[in-house]
A and B are shown apart, each in its own frame.
Chain A
């Protein structure tokens, strides 16, 4: 879990290049071999240093040999109502914006923005490179109570361990899911956080069970064949403690909520942090196997969401 360190996780640059990009005309294999994964995941430097629509990111204190950046100013789009993408693409990696866990003077950003937007952008680079998905390369935050939410049938929410949805957010999310939206939940740990998340979901769907997804479920073979759930650690936890787990979350879980017709509409990644792996995939100290796994899981979720 990467909480406060780098609200938007900006990377200042200056990293050693952990792999080389393919030359022009070269195709990436669609199934990643572990040794190739990191190379495939590393986006071009222009993307690694995210553009801010307004303002700039400064680097702050060194973090081992790596420096974790903390932006001095928030991008303007977070301080205001979020702008909708103007370019036409088939897929938008849409991040759920919720009001709880807010901090800062404006109160308009908070836990929802963990790893934002580097994780989103960097993940989309991988998605674009590895699949035929016509993806919007930038972030797309949308409030849960925004009517526009239903324009984006894929939604990513994280840090839901302490989430407290407002009635409007509950209604927005419920309608979104029942209309056909697909939600991927990520990055929360331990029994305490689960209890809170589960209670929140009960308010949305009082009669729907949260069930463990068997590894044979189609979502694990929509693009990559995933045979085992790996625990994807938060970057700081791994680098400082050498641990993949947090709190009492030792075993990763993928759980789901199904609609009345038995269709999966929510995937809950508990005791794992896919977003951090997307964000730090280029970091040579981040475990390659885990970041590869995180990309595979993320792409599978998208392909599944676009086809089921």
Chain B
């Protein structure tokens, strides 16, 4: 299309884009107009008086054609030109930025890697592009990946960078060339930026300095045959033995409809396998895999689809995540307001779970409590905790059938704070003294609960009770805590065959933002009652489980003795309840893995034993490398956020690094926490590695540059010449001799003749 345009209009569209249109006639325009009018008026007058075989319509048509012919001649006589600003040869600099990341090794164009273009265009002396550019500009080469820098020769390129940061590279080149006349920048890349940094600011800076960026996109916009494990989201830490349900996103090109296997490996050992039917091109399939984290410590889990024959990129068939499998005992306080078999069976269900300690406080009579599984004789000696320190030492609370009036207002507020501020998990069980029936409406605990408390069911004389057949909701189907079988089908089947349980707290509505995992079918209730719902509340989460005898799923005659449904449910439910509950020191890194020699930023939040943020205290991060070297990094309070401290370190070794953060207050130990990061050669370059023409077009458009591919790049040098950046001169491009003018004149004259013949006027 461009070639046709250039043939007709003599120049390429870019010239018209860049240039200003003008007439360069040697005589004044007004004189030409006077002459034109003087000639046109008598002509029109005489033409109008002619009478012959032609009618009025014919004369008008013929007059229009001739007028057009004259107008074209007049246009040419006025000597139309395009005025362009062009660079002065060898007086301007041109920055050439070459992508040095690993994705440049992808061989997606006729079997040759993307980097081959770089070698061909800039590595050979006979390269026309290099010659054209060198003739016009003083060239400065840069390489970029996660960082960027000047290079003096192509030998400095290795194409092994683990990330691509285009914005950073443009910024760096602009700054380095800020003191010289700069005609523009050329970015030679696939555009697959995976730095998570916004391009907006670098582009605004370039635009402000009028530095156009010309982008050369390498690689295919879509691979013809490829399977990619696009995304895997896992928790950073779980308890040993926890059941995990992980969503894995898979995309493909060229394999639509075929079935492949997704494998989950823990340190090379396959722990789960799932069949995946690949989606149609352009669609993403979410695959749910279910596995158990049994090995303690920081574990690298790999989610992998074995490469299929003919795949263009096989490195993107797997994703790794680091999960810290903890082997500690999570302490949960279970407060039950009356003797109930739920206590017995809940405790039995988790008794074998070494990672769960359900500390039970059972009110057996007025002011009489039975304490079970306490750590020492002092624990809970005064009944339900009355101080934040005592309550916040637990990571979860289960409230059984205990009326709200048992608690003081401070205790109720403390329970709410336990969830919102401490980040703990609260689970309220059904019972005649729970929820609305227990008088929780209007208390701080009501705010925390994920369900709407309506007026109590039943009355003083008769307790409302209904049997409920529990049903799994779609949200419950995908939730880790609800998985009772090895597969989704088994889980669905198990839930649908569980015997009914009873409910004395008919709850029908959840709060906005809450999620229902289990619902039910009750004969004497209109609508489906909520059986299990949860919501995030502040830093923690709250669960409502308003049934009173989940032990039925252990004792019912239909439950086989070897059936583990009840145990599995409670273990998973309680593990979920305390999963992600923060410690007093929380250490974060942006990712669970990082590349060597790239700075890793550490963020720690420090709290005291009442979980109030501690500012301006002494916090130190000690990073132990795989070889045992300890890097000490003092952490600074960020000032703008309470209790937040930051530091960074640059790892040089590959492997697992342990990050131990310790907080001291007045020289005394306050709290500590250990986290991990895997330093490895990241494969992120192979994900979303197709040439990103959208990104490259955007860069060019926003800076006044242009986007090229290897096929169109031959005009690059000339295009850059027409710029207002750097040292330039004005140049006029003649337009009177454009072929289109000649073709139009011939067309119009031929048209007139043809019209006359058609109308039999000759």
- Cβ contacts under 8 Å, A147 to chain B: 557
CA distance A131 to B367 in the complex (A): 10
- Cβ contacts under 8 Å, B557 to chain A: 147-150
B339 at interface, CB cutoff 8 A: yes
- How many whole Å from B459's CB to the nearest CB in chain A? 14
Query: Does the CB pair A308–B432 fall under 8 Å?
Result: no
Of residues 146 through 180 on chain A, the ones whose CB sits less than 8 Å from some CB of chain B are 147-151, 153, 175, 178-180
Of A38-46, A52-60, A298-306, the stretch lying at the interface with chain B is A298-306
Given A306-B340, A307-B372, answer yes or no on A132-B463 (Cβ-Cβ < 8 Å): no
CA distance A151 to B432 in the complex (A): 19
- How many whole Å from B402's CB to the nearest CB in chain A? 10
- How many whole Å from A168's CB to the nearest CB in chain B? 13
Given A88-B504, A150-B557, answer yes or no on A132-B364 (Cβ-Cβ < 8 Å): yes
Query: Does the CB pair A180–B348 fall under 8 Å?
Result: yes
Of residues 280 through 308 on chain A, the ones whose CB sits less than 8 Å from some CB of chain B are 302-303, 305-308
Contact with A along B522-552 (1 / 0, CB 8 A): 0000000000000000000000000010011
CB closest chain-B residue, reference A131: B365
Given A88-B465, A175-B561, A223-B364, answer yes or no on A133-B339 (Cβ-Cβ < 8 Å): yes
Interface size on A, residues (CB 8 A): 31
Interface of B toward A, CB cutoff 8 Å: 337-341, 343-345, 347-348, 351-352, 360, 362-368, 370, 372, 432, 463, 465, 502, 504, 548, 551-552, 554-557, 559, 561
11 A-B pairs (CB sep. < 8 Å): A130-B365, A131-B339, A134-B432, A150-B557, A151-B552, A151-B555, A180-B348, A223-B368, A306-B340, A307-B360, A307-B372
- Cβ contacts under 8 Å, A153 to chain B: 341, 344-345, 551, 555
CB closest chain-A residue, reference B504: A88
Of residues 118 through 137 on chain A, the ones whose CB sits less than 8 Å from some CB of chain B are 130-134
- Cβ contacts under 8 Å, A149 to chain B: 557
Query: Does the CB pair B463–A179 fall under 8 Å?
Result: no
CA distance A90 to B551 in the complex (A): 12
CA distance A223 to B369 in the complex (A): 8
- Cβ contacts under 8 Å, A132 to chain B: 337-339, 363-366
- Cβ contacts under 8 Å, A30 to chain B: 364-368
Query: Does the CB pair A180–B372 fall under 8 Å?
Result: no
Q: Which of A90, A130, A180, A303 contacts B370 (CB 8 A)?
A: A303
CA distance A152 to B556 in the complex (A): 10
Q: Which of B348, B463, B554 contacts A88 (CB 8 A)?
A: B463
Q: Which of B343, B502, B504 contacts A307 (CB 8 A)?
A: B343
Query: Does the CB pair B364–A131 fall under 8 Å?
Result: yes
A228 at interface, CB cutoff 8 A: no
- Cβ contacts under 8 Å, A306 to chain B: 339-341, 343-344
Query: Does the CB pair A181–B555 fall under 8 Å?
Result: yes
- How many whole Å from A21's CB to the nearest CB in chain B? 17
Given A27-B366, A308-B347, answer yes or no on A178-B339 (Cβ-Cβ < 8 Å): no
CB closest chain-A residue, reference B466: A88
CA distance A153 to B555 in the complex (A): 8
Given A132-B339, A153-B341, answer yes or no on A179-B559 (Cβ-Cβ < 8 Å): yes
- Cβ contacts under 8 Å, B504 to chain A: 88
Query: Does the CB pair B561–A90 fall under 8 Å?
Result: no
- Cβ contacts under 8 Å, B548 to chain A: 90
- Cβ contacts under 8 Å, A150 to chain B: 555-557
CA distance A150 to B566 in the complex (A): 15
Given A180-B344, A180-B348, answer yes or no on A303-B555 (Cβ-Cβ < 8 Å): no
CB closest chain-A residue, reference B559: A179
Query: Does the CB pair B465–A180 fall under 8 Å?
Result: no
- How many whole Å from A181's CB to the nearest CB in chain B? 7
- Cβ contacts under 8 Å, A134 to chain B: 338, 432
| CB-CB nearest 4 A-B residue pairs | A147-B557, A88-B465, A132-B338, A30-B365
Q: Which of A130, A175, A178, A308 contacts B344 (CB 8 A)?
A: A308
- Cβ contacts under 8 Å, A307 to chain B: 339, 343-344, 347, 360, 362, 370, 372
Query: Does the CB pair B339–A91 fall under 8 Å?
Result: yes
Q: Which of B340, B347, B351, B362 contacts A90 (CB 8 A)?
A: B340
CB closest chain-A residue, reference B352: A261
Q: Which of A88, A91, A180 contacts B551 (CB 8 A)?
A: A180
Given A181-B555, A303-B370, A307-B344, answer yes or no on A261-B362 (Cβ-Cβ < 8 Å): no
A202 at interface, CB cutoff 8 A: no
- Cβ contacts under 8 Å, B370 to chain A: 222-223, 303, 307
Query: Does the CB pair A261–B343 fall under 8 Å?
Result: no
Most chain B CB inside 10 Å of its own CB: which residue of A130, A148, A150, A181: A150
CB closest chain-B residue, reference A174: B561
A208 at interface, CB cutoff 8 A: no
A73 at interface, CB cutoff 8 A: no
Most chain B CB inside 10 Å of its own CB: which residue of A30, A132, A175, A263: A132
Query: Does the CB pair B345–A303 fall under 8 Å?
Result: no
- How many whole Å from A178's CB to the nearest CB in chain B? 5
Query: Does the CB pair B338–A133 fall under 8 Å?
Result: yes
Q: Which of B338, B367, B502, B554 contacts A180 (CB 8 A)?
A: B554
CA distance A263 to B352 in the complex (A): 12
CA distance A178 to B562 in the complex (A): 9
CA distance A180 to B570 in the complex (A): 16
- Cβ contacts under 8 Å, B363 to chain A: 132
Query: Does the CB pair A90–B338 fall under 8 Å?
Result: yes
- Cβ contacts under 8 Å, A263 to chain B: 348, 351
CB closest chain-B residue, reference A88: B465
CB closest chain-B residue, reference A259: B348
CA distance A124 to B504 in the complex (A): 23
CA distance A150 to B338 in the complex (A): 21
- Cβ contacts under 8 Å, B559 to chain A: 179
CA distance A186 to B385 in the complex (A): 39
- Cβ contacts under 8 Å, B343 to chain A: 306-307
Most chain B CB inside 10 Å of its own CB: which residue of A91, A133, A306: A306
Of residues 71 through 109 on chain A, the ones whose CB sits less than 8 Å from some CB of chain B are 88, 90-91
CA distance A275 to B372 in the complex (A): 29
- How many whole Å from B336's CB to the nearest CB in chain A? 8
CA distance A147 to B338 in the complex (A): 27
- Cβ contacts under 8 Å, B432 to chain A: 134
- Cβ contacts under 8 Å, B345 to chain A: 153, 180
Of residues 161 through 217 on chain A, the ones whose CB sits less than 8 Å from some CB of chain B are 175, 178-181
Query: Does the CB pair B554–A90 fall under 8 Å?
Result: no
Most chain A CB inside 10 Å of its own CB: which residue of B347, B364, B370: B364
CB closest chain-B residue, reference A305: B344
- Cβ contacts under 8 Å, B362 to chain A: 307
CB closest chain-B residue, reference A307: B343
Given A131-B364, A180-B348, A307-B370, answer yes or no on A88-B502 (Cβ-Cβ < 8 Å): yes
